[in-house]
Amino acid sequence: MDVDTGIDDALAILYAIESKQLDILGITTVNGNVPLDYVTKNTLKILSLAGENDIPVYPGAVEPYLREAVHEFKVHGNDGIGNALDDMVVTKPLEDTFAADFIIESAREHKEELTLIMVGPLTNLALALKKAPEIKDMIGRVVIMGGVVSDAGYGNMLPTSEFNIFADAEAAKVVFHKGLDITLVSLDVTHQVMMTDEHVEKLKGTKYYDFVKDATDEYMDYGLRLYGKRQCALHDPLTVGYVLDPNLLETKACHVDVETSSPLSYGQTICDFRGLLGKAPNVKICLGVDSGRFLEDFVEKLGG
């Protein structure tokens, strides 16, 4: 998993662990929602919260591939997880290996068995592909939370652009054109899986209730401003959900490119639905989601 922890990244990590279905080889961190030091510290805290000592954490890129860093403090709070684990002291050690090198090692060792779950800006994977281009033919599949395709105009950074792609569009462009098996879990579907206070209350009395309640409180207020309702989108957990159960999402193969030069639509994921460019499909986009089934499973797994 590659994360920029982030409230929904934290929930995605917990969901992946509690599903007990995945062999999580490691977690790589990337600059994104908050600067890398916070991202990494949050990731270590989340693993401690889960009582998970065996999953190694690898620090990654401190800044995007080419551009200046942008952050999402207004969504995730100044520390990235809504100050929910302020008092927790981090004891879990960090690995020495750089994230991109761990991705390269994992590709060489696990080949097509390897799934990369990317829920932050794509800097680490772009760096890995630049350093060791041959890994593009080894990695089994790449499942990315990012972009907005059919609902263009409903971005969350620019009208056309979603945060993970906007935060490092050059890296996304590198990743999208390497012939990898990519599924893009975009805002088109993640905006259909909204967590509300009712879902949180279902966790009452369980291991993660306090964390989820504290972490999502202001995130839901942000949702109120953005969507007109107190709720938060489970972007990154849905990406894990797809890996656990691919039937959750309806996908379609399409040619997708990333805009990197227009200030008006920087980071837009442009999907050639009609094949006008005559280019081969390079991404499976997601057009439909069984929201009810996902939300039920998410709450059930987090509830233990």
Looking at the annotation, which residues are catalytic?
Answer: 235
Q: How far is the CB of 167 from ligand BDR (least distance, A)?
A: 8
2 lies in the binding site for ligand BDR (CB under 6 A)? no
164 lies in the binding site for ligand BDR (CB under 6 A)? yes
Q: Using CB under 6 A as the criterion, what x/- string covers residues 9-28 for binding ligand BDR?
A: x-------------------
**Nearest residue (CB) to ligand BDR, 6 versus 82:** 6
CA distance 113 to 186: 24
Q: Give which of Ca ion, ligand BDR, none residue 44 binds (C-beta under 5 to 8 Å, depending on kind).
A: none
Do residues 249 and 288 make contact, with C-beta atoms less than 8 angstroms apart?
yes
Neighbours of 156 (CB within 10 A): 19
**Nearest residue (CB) to ligand BDR, 138 versus 175:** 175
**Nearest residue (CB) to ligand BDR, 28 versus 156:** 156
9 lies in the binding site for Ca ion (CB under 5 A)? yes
Single residue of 162, 217, 257, 297 touching ligand BDR by CB under 6 A: 162
Cα 304 to chain centroid, rounded: 22
188 lies in the binding site for ligand BDR (CB under 6 A)? no
Q: Tokens 């030069």 belong to which residue?
A: 261
CA distance 277 to 298: 39
Which residues 95-134 are close enough to bind ligand BDR by CB under 6 A?
119
CA distance 21 to 108: 23
CA distance 56 to 251: 32
Neighbours of 56 (CB within 10 A): 17
CA distance 158 to 29: 24
Provide the token pair at 181: 């098996």
Binding segment (CB under 5 A) for Ca ion, from list 57-65, 116-124, 174-182, 276-284: 116-124
**Nearest residue (CB) to ligand BDR, 119 versus 126:** 119
Provide the token pair at 267: 């980071």
- Site residues (CB under 6 A) for ligand BDR? 6, 8-9, 33, 72, 75, 119, 145, 156, 162-164, 235-236
